[in-house]
């Protein structure tokens, strides 16, 4: 039996320099023809890219005709300020929010709520859901979040977020399909029936991916360590070829396991994401026509 064509989505981050702006728009133009279900734009740690995120979200929506989900956090803002951002998005025609607690600002080792702000993501979700005009997506953690007491606690917290009004969840990245399947089974057992979309990280460079994994609690399999060390030793394009093959194989296993949606963390570099999509049989469905 042939499997269904999965829905795909992409994550971008807002640019802080002119060169980074060109790279973002090149990435959007390269991936938009794949007709993603939605794209998301991140929010810097401590809310540091608040305005840049807003500009990127509204520009992508206005000029590229894509369904954009804006990341929003609880960090260093009052409830009034945060909900004003939601209203500004609504006024600009944005109808999706990725609601997150957010990482601690630079210099803090843990999240501290603003005295007049949302204490955690569930409060933020409830407030956005009360508007009745936003689709809310949230984060999920197949392996324990650095601030959690374990996977069971993460499942319980995800259930609270779904019950508060979220319609789907996007996971942190992981290296092995079994990690996602175990988490999916625990969520189902807890009564979570909303879609849980696996977050996929095409590895642009092993050193950076390794640091990212260590910072967010993603376990690094020994086979991955050994494979990338050997590829880097061999030089040439071996690291890139290995990363593409590993990512495509991970996606293939997920699809074989019943997954019907994939969310790619592009890091504003489209080539490997596009190559992996091609390996999965996903090709551009339309010519990109930016709207003036």
64 with 33: CB under 8 angstroms?
no
Give me the catalytic one of 11, 76, 123, 143: 11
Residue 97: both structure tokens together = 């929010």
In the chain, which ranges are continuous DSSP H helix? 18-31, 50-64, 79-91, 121-129, 151-164, 177-189, 206-216, 222-234, 238-256, 270-279
Task: Using alpha carbons, select from 184, 75, 72, 196 the residue that is nearest to residue 129.
Answer: 72
Q: Within the chain, what is the greatest distance between any pair of CA atoms?
A: 55
Q: Does 11 qualify as catalytic in the annotation?
A: yes
DSSP for 96-109 reads EEEE---PPPTT-S
What does the alpha-carbon distance between residue 135 and residue 227 come to, in Å, rounded to a whole number?
A: 40
Length of the chain in terms of residues written:
292
What token pair was written down for 81?
């300020």
Whole-number Å distance between alpha carbons of 116 and 79: 6
Closest to 78 (Cα-Cα) out of 118, 45, 48: 118
- Cβ of 207: how many Cβ atoms within 10 Å? 11
Q: Which run of H or of E encompasses 6? A: none
Sign of CA dihedral 103, 107, 113, 117: negative
By annotation, the residues acting in catalysis are: 11
């Amino acid at each position: 039996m042939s499997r269904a064509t999965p829905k795909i989505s992409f994550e971008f981050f807002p640019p802080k320099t002119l060169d980074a702006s060109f790279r973002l728009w090149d990435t959007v133009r390269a991936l938009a023809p794949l007709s993603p279900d939605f794209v998301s734009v991140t929010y810097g740690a401590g809310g540091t890219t608040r305005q840049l995120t807003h500009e990127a979200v509204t520009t992508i929506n206005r000029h590229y005709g894509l369904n954009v989900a804006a990341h929003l956090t609880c960090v260093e803002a009052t409830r009034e300020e945060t909900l004003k951002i939601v209203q500004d998005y609504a006024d600009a025609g944005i109808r999706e929010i990725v609601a997150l607690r957010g990482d601690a600002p630079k210099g803090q080792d843990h999240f501290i709520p603003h005295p007049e702000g949302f204490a955690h993501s569930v409060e933020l979700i409830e407030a956005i859901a009360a508007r009745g005009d936003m689709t809310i997506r949230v984060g999920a953690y197949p392996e324990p979040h650095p601030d959690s007491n374990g996977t069971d606690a993460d499942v319980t917290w995800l259930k609270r977020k779904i019950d508060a009004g979220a319609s789907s969840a996007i996971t942190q990245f992981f290296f092995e399909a079994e990690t996602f399947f175990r988490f999916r089974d625990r969520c189902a057992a807890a009564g979570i029936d909303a879609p849980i979309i696996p977050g996929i990280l095409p590895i642009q460079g092993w050193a950076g991916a390794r640091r990212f994994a260590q910072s967010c609690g993603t376990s690094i399999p020994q086979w991955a360590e050994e494979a990338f060390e050997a590829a880097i030793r061999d030089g040439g394009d071996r690291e890139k070829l290995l990363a593409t093959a590993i990512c495509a194989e991970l996606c293939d296993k997920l699809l074989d396991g019943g997954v019907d949606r994939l969310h790619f963390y592009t890091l504003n570099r489209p080539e490997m994401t596009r190559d992996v999509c091609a390996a999965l049989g996903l090709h551009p469905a339309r010519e990109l026509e930016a709207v003036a």
